[in-house]
Amino acid sequence: MIRPIPALGAVLAGSLVGLYLLPLAALVLSVTGGDISRAVAHPALAPALALSLRTSAVAMAATVAAGLPLALYLARSRGRVARLLLALLDLPIVLPPAVVGVALLAAFGRGGWLGAWLSSLGIHVPFTALAVVLAQVVVASPFFVKAAVSAIRSVPNDLVDVARTLGASRTAAAVQIVLPLAAGGLATGLGLAWARALGEFGATLIFAGNLPGTTQTLPLAIYTVLEGDLSLAIAFSLAAALTAVVLLALVRAGAAPWTRRAA
């Protein structure tokens, strides 16, 4: 009979933690001041950073605007359609990003379902900034919607019922009672989704390409400079990591007053 050996467990757990920390440490420790100034002066960095911020901000605005009503519906409905949609939300998380990219091409590409109709209107989605945003929304928004559904479900139904008898419409009760009480969970979901959108690589590369200034986001810029210069890629990566951390902190700080009130 095999008995769990605490020492072996500690070694295994420790090596996993080491695996998390080692690459991060290597990233931070192997960068030099010269690499950083070369990265800052590099013509690809500023446009890629700006594009990443712009496209992910638009993707998150769309995610919140469309994801909140969807989450409100999914949280309150126990019907078959709602259960199916909840399961569907796992798809973009489970599918390899490359598959999502190819699927988006099949839908919006020149010969694609919607693409053919769109190009008859003179609209070409692939290999544009819009394609970058679409890829980010498909891949990242499920993280927000799923977190929003569980945050909304944690608000007791009684509160909504009472609000209704006190004169609040369905929408007023959602805005005044449910959303403030769910704010903490919504912010966590938004932070997760934003981080995922900033990191989007595979679907973007396939569906939007790697055109500097138009579709070359920060992860694609890292990939591009990596081909010739590892230390430059490291400096670019630090910039990307810093961006993600700052954005997450901003989202948390933005939600803090709501979360405090709800506590």
Positions in the binding site for other proteins (CB under 8 A)? 156, 158-159, 161-169, 172, 176-177, 180-181, 261-262
Least distance (Å) between residue 72 CB and other proteins: 17
Least distance (Å) between residue 139 CB and other proteins: 33
Closest CA to 216 of 158, 136, 132: 132
Q: Which is nearer to other proteins, 147 or 183 (CB)?
A: 183
Closest CA to 49 of 248, 238, 249, 250: 238
Q: How many CB atoms lie within 10 A of CB 201?
A: 18
Least distance (Å) between residue 76 CB and other proteins: 13
Q: Which is nearer to other proteins, 77 or 176 (CB)?
A: 176
Q: Which is nearer to other proteins, 105 or 178 (CB)?
A: 178
Least distance (Å) between residue 255 CB and other proteins: 13
Whole-number Å distance between alpha carbons of 40 and 53: 17
Q: Which is nearer to other proteins, 83 or 110 (CB)?
A: 83
3-state SS assignment for residue 199: helix
- Asked if 44 and 212 count as a contact pair (C-beta separation under 8 A), the reply is yes
Least distance (Å) between residue 120 CB and other proteins: 44
Whole-number Å distance between alpha carbons of 4 and 199: 38
- Asked if 171 and 68 count as a contact pair (C-beta separation under 8 A), the reply is no
Q: Which is nearer to other proteins, 120 or 165 (CB)?
A: 165
Tell me the C-alpha to C-alpha distance, in Å, between residue 205 and each of 42, 198, 239, 256, 259: 21, 13, 20, 35, 37
Q: Which is nearer to other proteins, 122 or 167 (CB)?
A: 167
Least distance (Å) between residue 61 CB and other proteins: 25
Closest CA to 210 of 81, 99, 51: 51
